Every structure is written in structure tokens, then in C-alpha cells.
Structure 1
Amino acid sequence: MEASNLQAARTGTRTGAMRGLGPGRILLDGVLLLLSFLMLTPFLWIFSTSLRLPKDSFTLPPAIFPTAWHIGNYAEVFAKVPFFDFISNSLKICLIIVLGHIFISSMAAFAFSRITFPGRNALFLIFLSGLMIPGQVTIIPQFILMSKLGLVDTHLALILPGLINPFGIFMIRQTMMSISSAYDEAAYMDGASRIWVFLKVILPMSYPAVAVTSVISFIGHWNDFFRPLIFLNSFEKMTLPIGMTALTGAFGTGNLSAILAGVTLSLIVPLLFYIFGQKYLLDGITAGGLKM
């Protein structure tokens, strides 16, 4: 009897699955698969070319797999420029910025969403107006300020301005606003302090927005080229985007394989950061969609 029930359940599951695979679903899956392949093609070409001999870099038509594998391009990258220093500089700067940015933004978001004080909404609008100001507009005042503080050609000149971002405050505040005030009231009735409510109740419930903000902040500062170019002078303090220009200058246009080997290495850290944060990133996007 149990065997027949199990067989019937399996048959029903297969039937339901086949019923869901209609012509429209098959067409949609095919289109998505094609788009995924088109988006992955440049990355596949970069990785494939990084393993070719320099003379095979410009072969037409381009082949997916190299005819002769040459991993020496990666060794040449580290031999020509201090590539590991560039990666460690960028990683240190980005991690400090992300941690500080999340700490400051979450506290500001908690104040703007859970604490009532005079002028709260007006002050929040002032913070939010910072989203309308391009970063290039403030670069000269920032440089003058950092110069007077003696922070030019230091990583602090990149870290300090990155700690505060109106987008992070806005993103986390909107999530905290959607959390019922009953949680706060219950915690306060149990004698909890405001900082305890923030750390133990509201912040854990806002982790999707925190995750999204972390990923966006990390990727944005990892790819930042403009500010390091302005604030940094010492070659050993340069970040990875500036280091990539040095790599291009070291090899010229004759060794595209080695240049793309450096590009491949530069993609590893943000790719790992995204892979490990993908679950929380998708949760944040899904939660935001449900609240809308």
C-alpha cells in the first residue's frame, strides 16, 4: 500500500513538472539561456585569451579554447608589476570602507526610522539630496581638505569619504521603516536599551538591505579609478584599477594575453565576494520587491 502511494506521488510530481514545461516556459528558458551565454561570452574570451601565447591573441576568428595553453602569462603579470600589492591595497581599502559604511549607515538609518526627534524628516531629505550631487563635484573640496589634514597620498584619503553614503542610509532606512514597531515596544517593555534594540532586534531583521548595500559599496570602491588617481602618488600605494594601467604600460599592446591575465586576476575578489553574498543579495532584492 505504501509502495503504491509512493509511486502515485512520484507520478503526480512528474506530471506536475511536465505540465509546467509548456511551450511558453520552454521558450522563456531558451531565451534566458541564450542571454546568459551572451553575457558570459566576454568573460570566457578574457579567460581563454589569458591562457594563449602572445602571438595567438589576435587570431581571427577567435577560438573558445587556446590551441596552446600558456599559463606563463600569469607569472609575467607578477614579474612586471607589484600586482599582489595592488590587490591587497584595494582589498584593505574596500573592506574598511564597507565595514565602516555599514556601521554608520545602519545607525543613521535606525535614528531616521525608529527615533522621533524634531526635524527628522527635513534632516533625512538633506542627507538624501546628496544622491543628486555627482562625486566629481566634491572632489576638489575633498582634495583641499585632505591636503590640509596631511592625508594626501595615504589610503585614509580614500577611506574617510567612503564611510558615509546617502544611498546606504536610504536603503537600510526603508527596510527598517517596514519593520513593525511592536518589536521595539516588546523589547523596551522587557527593559532593553535602545542600543540593544538596534543591535539585537532591528539590525538582524534588516540584513537583506545591509547585504545589498555591502555588495554595492564593495564593487563600487573596488572599481573606483578616479579618486585613487587624484589622491595617491606613490606607486606602491596604488589600487588595482590604477595598477591595471601600469600593467598596460608595462606590456604595451603587443602582449594582450598577459594584460588579460591581469584582468582575470582582478575579477577573482569581487567574484568571490558576490558568490558568498549572493544568497543575502537575492534575499534583499526579493524582500524589497515584496514590500513594494
Structure 2
Amino acid sequence: MKRKNRWITAGLVLLSSVIWLPLLYMAAQSFMGKGELIENTGAVLAGADGRAHFSLLPKYPTLEPYVELLLDSPGFFVMFWNSCRQVFPVLLGQLLIGTPAAWALGRYKFRGRNILMLLYMILMIMPFQVTMVSGYLVLKQFQLLDTHLALILPGIFNTFPVFIMSKAFSGIPDSLIEAARIDGAGEFKVFCMVGVPMALPGIISAMILGFLEYWNVIEQPMTFLKTKNLWPLSLYLPNITSDKINVSFAASIVMLLPAVFLFLWGQQYLEQGIAASGLKE
């Protein structure tokens, strides 16, 4: 029986490791020179003749793509800074506005609460293509098109983090809330001293998911931003020409690193937050 379990475990580990192959392949390509990349992937990515070849390890490793990206690509740093200017204000706004809204929806019973939660869920599952035209017209009316606020303001009022955090707040035992009130704590103090610490995994998981979403966003900046100097880093890769194919792989790795490190750091909070929200089921 133990031997059978070992074989099952080994098979599952082998299957799960397949997920890492694209990432390992991309990392290996980022250390290849332009000539070797053209030889391996030119038939697919550069319109060259012949066939593409799969090569997991570079024959002649080089840091040239990273040097060119980090030292000779000013457009990369402009877009990187644009991503920071757009993503972090969104997360800050979701904390300041979404957290109190989630507390109200998760802890208070009031008329129309179920309808409001239903509207939140409908807006949460709606794809961007459905609200694109209406969002464009609203931003145009307020003269916010082609500005950073065109991405920041809609992101702040996103309903998904409110949904995640409200489930975390609703899972707090009522006895803790009542004990704090008996001790003389007001509603704001209960929220800050009891609600936020107890729902911290849900709050952090909402912030992590929000970062991953807006760090990799593509459709919104393509729709609302016309000036390339305002584009985020997510639009840098589609605009790399085929003659800089080696730089594209290096840029992919650099862009991926913040999301990977954040995910690894907050994986435990993310699992707890999703479990508290009921999305695991």
C-alpha cells in the first residue's frame, strides 16, 4: 500500500512539474544570444525559414538581453514607472474605500443588503468587454481619457476585493465583536482593533489578487490610453519588434518577478482568504 502511494505521489509530482516547463523555457531563452534565439524560435517569432527547435538550456549563456533591457531601453523604465503609478494607487484606494464597504456588507444587516450584494456579484463577473463602452463614455464625459486616472478610478471601485473582504469580515465570531462593544469600544474602534486584524488574511489576499490583475492588465490601457508615454509595462512586450527578440524574453522575466515574489510571500494569506470567502468550494 505504501509503495502504491509512493508511485501515485511521484506521478502527481511529475504531472505538476509540467506546469513549470513554460516558465523554465522562457527563463532559459532570456539567457540566449540573438543568433541562437533566431535559430531555435525564429520560424515562429521572427518569420524565419525552417522549423522551431526546443532547447531548454542555452548553448552559450549570455547576459546581453538583460544588459540591453536594463541599460539601453529607456522605454522599459518609463512603462515600469507608469505601472507603479497606476497599480499602487488602485490598491491604496481599494484599502481606503473597499475595506469599510466590505465591513458594512459583512457585519451589518440592513434593508437592501442582499440586493446590493447581488449587484456586486453581477459587476464582479462581468467581463471588461461588457462595460467597456459605458466606461469609455463616462471617462470621456469627465475628461479623464488618456490620463492615469482613467485606470486608477475604475480600479479603486472594483467590486471583487469588496466581495473577498466582506466574506472575511462575516466570518469573525460575533462574541468577539460583542466583547469589544461591552468594553466600551465604538464602531470605528471595533473595526480597526478587531475587524481588520481578524480579517487580515482576506484583506491581504484581495490586495495580492488586485496587484496580479492590474500589474498584467492589457485591455483597459489599450482602450483608455492613447499616449504611449502613459502605457504600463504590460504593453511593453507586445510592442517589442522581432529584431529584439532576445530582449522580449528578458523583459518577460523581469516583469514576472514582482508578481512571483509577492505571490510566494503572501501564499499563506491568499489560501486563507480564498478559503474564508468560500471560493474553494
Q: Same fold (TM over 0.5)?
A: yes
Deviation at 1:285? 4.0
2:258 maps to which residue? 269
Tell me whether 1:68 sits opposite 2:51 in the alignment.
Answer: no
After superposition, the C-alpha distances for 1:61-116 in whole angstroms (9 at most, x for unaligned) are 43322111221112222424511121121123112212221332221121112223
Report the Cα distance in structure 2 between the residues aligned to 1:111 and 1:270, rounded to whole angstroms: 30
CA contact (8 A) 1:184 1:197 kept: yes
1:127-170: CA deviation from partner (whole Å, max 9, x where unpaired): 22213432222122222222222221111110000112222222
Secondary structure in 1 matching 2:223: helix
- The 3 A distance-change label for structure 1 pair 289 and 167 is closer
Question: What is the TM-score when the length of structure 2 is the normalising length?
Answer: 0.87
Give me the whole-angstrom Cα distance separating, in 1, the residues matched to 2:256 and 2:280.
33
Paired position in structure 2 for 1:50: 30
Structure 1 residue 52: Cα displacement: 0.8
In structure 1, runs of 5+ residues without a counterpart are: 1-20
Runs of at least 5 residues in structure 2 that lack an aligned partner in the other structure = 41-51
* Secondary structure, aligned partner of 1:75: helix
CA RMSD of the aligned region, Å? Answer: 2.2
Q: For 1:41, give the aligned amino acid.
A: L
- Give the match for residue 256 of structure 1: 245
Aligned partner of 2:85 in structure 1 is 92
| Residue in structure 1 matching 2:192, options 193, 199, 208 | 199
Structure 1 residue corresponding to 2:129, chosen from 128, 133, 136: 136
Residues 148-199 of structure 1: CA deviation (Å, up to 9, x unaligned): 2222111111000011222222222222222221111111111111111111
Which region of structure 1 is more displaced relative to structure 2, 276-285 or 157-166? 276-285
| Alpha-carbon separation, structure 2, partners of 1:290 and 1:258 | 38
Q: Which position in structure 2 is the counterpart of 1:40?
A: 20
- In structure 2, do the counterparts of structure 1 residues 95 and 25 end up closer, same or farther at CA, with 3 Å as the change threshold? farther
Check conservation: 2:201, 2:273, Cα contact below 8 A. Answer: yes
- 1:10-25 pair list within 5 angstroms: 22-25=2-5
Check the 8 A contact 2:168/2:199 in 1, yes or no. Answer: yes
Aligned to 1:17: none
The answer to whether the Cα contact below 8 Å between 1:228 and 1:238 also exists between their aligned partners in 2 is yes
CA distance in 2, matches of 1:209, 1:51: 38
1:282 to 271, 278, 281: 271
CA contact (8 A) 2:167 2:276 kept: no
**Distance in 1 (alpha carbons) for counterparts of 2:209 and 2:172:** 23
Amino acid at match of 1:237: L
- Aligned twin of 2:180: 187
What is the alpha-carbon distance in structure 2 between the residues aligned to residue 151 and residue 136 of structure 1? 19
Say which is worse superposed, 152-161 or 281-290, in terms of deviation: 281-290
Aligned-partner residue type, residue 280 of structure 1: Y
Residues 204 and 270 of structure 2 are in contact (CA less than 8 Å); yes or no, is this contact kept in structure 1? yes
Change (3 A) 1:44 1:138: same
Structure 1 counterpart of 2:212: 219
Partner of 1:6: none
Which shows bigger deviation, 59-68 or 260-269?
Answer: 59-68
Identify which of 164, 170, 175 aligns with 2:163: 170
Under a length normalisation based on structure 1, what TM-score does the superposition of the two structures give? 0.84
User: Aligned with 2:268: secondary structure?
Assistant: helix
Distance 2:279 2:216 in 1: 31
Note the C-alpha offset of 1:119.
2.1
1:118 counterpart = 2:114 = no
**Distance apart, 1:290 and its partner CA:** 11
Whether contact under 8 Å (1:102, 1:213) holds in the other structure is no
Distance across 2 between alignment mates of 1:234 and 1:190: 56
Q: Percent identity, please.
A: 29
What CA deviation, in whole Å up to 9, does each residue of 1:205-244 have, x standing for no partner?
1112112211211111111101101111222211012121
The farther-off stretch of 260-269 and 32-41 is 32-41
CA contact 1:100–1:163 (8 Å) conserved in 2: yes
Aligned to 1:108: 101
- The aligned counterpart of 2:149 is 156
> Matched residue pairs, number?
268
The higher relative CO (CA closer than 8 Å, separation ≥ 6) is in 1
